Structure 1
């Protein structure tokens, strides 16, 4: 299972110390590793001789993205990664359990309750991928790890975005013939219905020990998949009609993952209680083997050795099946996710896929690190407090704002929608890392990312229920959403029968201060209740999302929870653009419906600014001291008195395209930073004079004043510029 390290294997990669080799192949080497905090990981690297190939680097980055999309509940949790390093690497959770084919070989076909639970949880996993417009395309028993907490989907070697054929050739059947769909077998588009077909084949195997189309030569299997009826011998009678429908040749006749989960209806019992005793014993054995693993390294070869040992040349090592224990069977998988590669704009306008040279760029980039937020469910923004920037959604990192160096990576609470700060302390809401634990509210150590004992616990609210959000915090209270559910579930959607609430918790006593019911969500919806939140002047200001995606600006009394007023946030701009909140002690300045000031007390309009002409378009506003700043299309930045709306200064004639109106300007100590077609424009806060235009990557920007840094958050990176 574990092989000694080669003499020339590195001792450390990132923040991880290498312990042993788990396997090596033509693409790269996989190691057992431990972080400085003692966490065990599977760490994948790419061989140096192929790391210079941009195509292989792209595939490695896409595998990292896909692992983050599937998430830690349904896949191997991503701890850290650097696909742009000289030797690209990915550190993931070491999955403690065998692949499904090994599990069936060890314990025999699974009992019907286990098959039902397995299928329902895999439906949730695929549903998360499909919601992100990604299809797996190679679901099979060896790509499903069986753990005590449930199955984990791995190996994204040929996964890709729905409708994206750039990584495969039209007419080519990519996948495993025994479990591919008929449309995939003919090289046609593989949509989510194709993953449902493959899932049904996996469940037939789990229930019987054989696949629905047997074994044999590639051509024979492809023919049977396309034309033959599936072999369902041994399938429990109650499952026969369900799996037969999923194996329909016409994709339109198959159920969705949500529909299939409902048909399987596994019940509330924990997954582990359904597994055979020999299988549970094997899981326990693997836990002990990894826990007691000690570093071993082979000596360097003598001068008359035949060849130098290189990663990938080891004559022995685990089989491919053993490699799947890593939580990822493909060392260099490809999972195309909408958004494409990480590319920076150079000063000459060209695109660079490699990390910047060590030499300081002329446009003052100070540092940059990869921090992917794949398919964010709320507007991307860092959590900023003194000495720390918390970035990312899946795979959160705590960065030193001055240097960009990680202080910690992927703490206990790994979804950033469950992390908030009052500017001094960092708080988190979660379920104590188990599926059945109650909702807890914690402080997070900003130095390590670790959570302590919860200061507030709510036994009637499951902590890992989808839809739980830690919205914002003050020195007195944290504000969050919590749900009550008739059954415990870790599915990444809302479920029928759940009831949801907006609540406030005292940070000193942990006592619930108040609770307000929220509208019910349709079964299967994944739209969160809120996209942003702020407390100011005793008011809790929220951008609330309806079940149909509509947005409303809602204001509550922060002390009592009483709903004071709300109004729609209509507009043709994306929801995230309308979700920015600019608030001071008197007004809220919405990011939709023109540049207006609404009184916090009653929602009535205090003033309105029409710009050069009625109907002028503005980007989201920002507030600094007693001034409101915004960027007007075709004009540039304007500064208005926050009390009256009167113009203090305005740029004249700067070209501002509509595409530059999706982010607010950033208020620094001396300058206002706003986006332009060439990068950023720095304007004097007092006069509006443009004093320092410079080129910069397209991103959302945030000021970290104590560190003197302008923080840029992109889809796949975080960077910093001087805050001057």
Structure 2
């Protein structure tokens, strides 16, 4: 949102205008508030266009189209004035990020969220089509994610089902890559065009990548009409659901009702929009709007905010509501009190700079030859550094000179250092915005991930190991060997609990938290799950121990926790019930154990002995199998599966397999007899090779 400028009206109908939400070629959209305190998005035709009869009719038609749809999945029309003067439409102001903003801030959606999104939008499309309309511009920017679920906005080019295209020669009919082939060709458009747009939208939501892309608009539109959608990066089950929506022939696309039934979101899917990092984003925006529309002054209507106060806040904060999340509240507080934002004023996560995916067909690399690193090797890692942690635009690790360090994922350049951190005590990301760690005195400390700016700390943590974090708290092991929960909103101790097993300072247990459960794996290989609300034990699994000192590392996905060790097992996180168990595939079962799990879509991967296996996460049936030697960690990036060949003295190194053919594509050599680990993010593989850090490309 931006402040009002010269020439902007101060009021339209009952709405006092407080700021500018956006503008385009035809008009502007203002943030308004009526005398009852109700907020609205007020769209108005530009004054120089108000006398253009064709544009005025189009604007009137938009109001009529929007008013014709009574679905709860669209923004309600609150009022309109379409005769004389400057036509305007007031619609319900939806508080929340658009879908593209959410993907930028939080990354691609997981399976349950994609299913909930698909079902909700499909039901809304059914309502729109029942009203005799076709939306014609369904895209990520026109989906607002609210605490009540996804809402469809902008009926600017919606038309009755029998209507032809609105465009004239030279105009782009819809957003490239989301409009159906028949729209690109200027043919008659019906409800199936919205289904095509929904398919492209879901592909983006599930992967963060567009189904159709190109170097310029014409190339994208050509791909829509003649090319195939890029769906190889989607899990197989989602690919099978989304691909029919993108059929070239409108008659072959499913109906919205069929889509809603096929995606079948899990029970309680409506809670997705109220819990988790995305829900936190929505709630922060709701608080921001409340602060911007409420005055704390001693005189006047308490529901009204002074224009000077709002304009000051907007001018200082920039795009505070539409893109800045909670930043408006911080700037507002700073301007009013003269104080800098406090330690709990957390900036939103920065955008992830994705690397280009290489293609052998385009000559980017030669199959069988070692790839050229994106950067490195750099001798920057401490001997006891845990695995490198990529967080958006930085990769974090234990620094060779001591403490914690972060380097740019793009070029490896040093970004920041926290010298007083005990990196061996582990670290984690908090919603991709903060890095949480333990300092040398046992305090839990946090830093802005991109800049290293210190934020809140909790000396009361008295921590020796950082176990895990969820949306509410960070969980640590104390110096006395107990579990402790530290609230993320106030840095206070929520609870402290003692559990069986060695949690001493040298034990460095591993943990994971989600779904109200903290799962802890001890050095001896015992697994204990406790309630995150009070630390009480929910279930345990004794002797899930790993061989050769390989730790049990819990991995949670949805309602399932995957545990490695002498066996590889999936357990229901709520009560520990076994869903499946995999024994060794290697002849040396008494020596080799399964390494930590990596979940990609519906498949979970792990390495054991001479193999990397991918199993169906629900039933444990085999979905993928590759041969390597002595790998511990497994990474999925691009169209490839990555492991480390630790034992083959002739060809040892980082091994990359084509995910579809299961054939080895290349090996990057590593130092012998060094500690090796790999992790991946944003189309990059980060390699720990002893004290060296390396970034490799993916294909």
> Which category describes the TM-score, using the shorter chain as reference length?
0.3 to 0.5
TM-score, normalised to structure 1, is: 0.40
TM-score, normalised to structure 2, is: 0.41
